[in-house]
Homo-oligomer: A and B are copies of this chain.
Amino acid sequence: MIKDQLSAYIKRTVEITDDELIHVLSFFKTLKPQKNELLLSEGQTSQRSFFVGTGCLRIYFKDENGQDSTRYIAFENMFATALVSFITGQPSLEYIQAIEPSELLYITHEDFNSLRKTVPAWEKFYCKYLEKAYVNTASRLLSFTTMDATERYKQLLSKNQTVVMRLPNKIVASYLNISQETLSRLKSKI
């Protein structure tokens, strides 16, 4: 059951009473997008945060030549949203896409924020959510400013091999911000 997965995730993340947990879970709704379905496009405001029960989401943006750059991949038991827009309420520069048929739970921005006011554990949960997102994004920034493509690929293999094993080359390449040709060369070399 996907709600059991979410429940376990929240309990691993913060201390929360059973009553608070039941209350929090009651705000989550189910969504079953198909493969490649877009859940958010550039220019829309990010109004939902998604929890992946099965399947996989990716967050990406497009450069001015229409080329994808993948910022984040969420597999089972991970949260994902276009977080800058979720925080600021400004139109998103990012897209959210299901890259496999998925079963998700989502909570709206409005419910998420009203829970922060009424359930102190949910405010702490949000802090943990932001901490993870910050650490992840800062480590990607570090890799793009100090590593070349080979080093980034090696790092991905050691830290998050599932991305390479489970996803099509096109998406792995866009996650490393390199061409598919460069990725094929790296795969044959390493």
What is the interface of chain A, defined by CB distance below 8 A to chain B? 61-64, 69, 71, 83-84, 87-88, 93, 116, 120, 123-124, 126-127, 130-131, 133-135, 137-142, 144-147, 177
| Contact present for B142 and A144 (CB under 8 Å) | no
| Contact present for A144 and B144 (CB under 8 Å) | yes
State the majority secondary structure of interface residues on A: helix
Instruction: Point out the residues of chain B lying under 8 angstroms from A139, CB to CB.
Output: 84
| Contact present for B130 and A134 (CB under 8 Å) | yes
Q: Taking the full assembly, how many copies of this chain does it contain?
A: 2
Instruction: Point out the residues of chain B lying under 8 angstroms from A116, CB to CB.
Output: 127
Instruction: Point out the residues of chain B lying under 8 angstroms from A146, CB to CB.
Output: 61-64, 69
**Supplied contacts A120-B123, A134-B134, A137-B138, 19 more A-B pairs, CB within 8 Å:** A61-B142, A61-B146, A64-B146, A71-B138, A71-B141, A71-B142, A84-B134, A84-B138, A120-B120, A123-B123, A123-B124, A123-B127, A126-B127, A133-B134, A134-B137, A137-B141, A140-B141, A141-B141, A145-B177
Q: Which 10 A-B pairs have the closest CB atoms?
A: A63-B146, A130-B130, A69-B145, A144-B144, A141-B141, A87-B131, A145-B177, A134-B134, A137-B137, A84-B138
Listed residue (A63, A123, A131) with the most chain B CB atoms within 10 angstroms of its CB? A131
